[in-house]
A and B are shown apart, each in its own frame.
Chain A
């Protein structure tokens, strides 16, 4: 993992096509602006994990039903 420090309004360029800008820092929160091409998907990790968990729960429940 790459760890680096950025100040307000400073940015990162990833792979020459994704720009990540620090828009605001206050009280333990960081506001981030991301510009990326349409094929790049950006998600909040906890939401992606919640979807993954729910898919597994749905599968388990469906298994019981489909066995009948």
Chain B
């Protein structure tokens, strides 16, 4: 099954909690177990390693910044994450924070795809990416609303 997602899927599952990356993330292949948490009063989530407490990533939903964001999840990923319906899918991007925060970027060449039902996840390196690894966080110039100032 190839899942083409045009709008942010609404989910009946809990967005936050434990997630497992069976293959780790590029550059961090040995880390498997993470806790996804909300960062209060911001547009961001934290992905904290349960194996190395020094390791934590800041994530955001691409739809927070790009309303018409689209992703074509490769069939191989649907297969490995056992994705069968859009309802089970959560898409998040890894944020590289900058000072000032309006200069921060998100990596849309390799979004995180999470199966909320099984809590299994993967950082998917897209073969024909439309976006870059450093896509500006912009929402009509309202990056200040990110809440990290």
Which A residues are closer than 8 A to B by beta carbons?
38-44, 47-48, 50-59, 61-66
Contact = CB atoms under 8 A, between A and B. Distances in A.
Contacts, number: 79
Nearest to B75: A38
B58 A62 contact: yes
A64 to B, nearest CB: 8
A55 B57 contact: yes
B24 to A, nearest CB: 10
Q: Chain B: interface residue count, which band?
A: 20 to 34
A63 to B, nearest CB: 7
Contacts of A44: 127
Contacts of A55: 25-28, 57, 94, 107, 123
Contact of B56 (A39, A43, A47, A66): A66
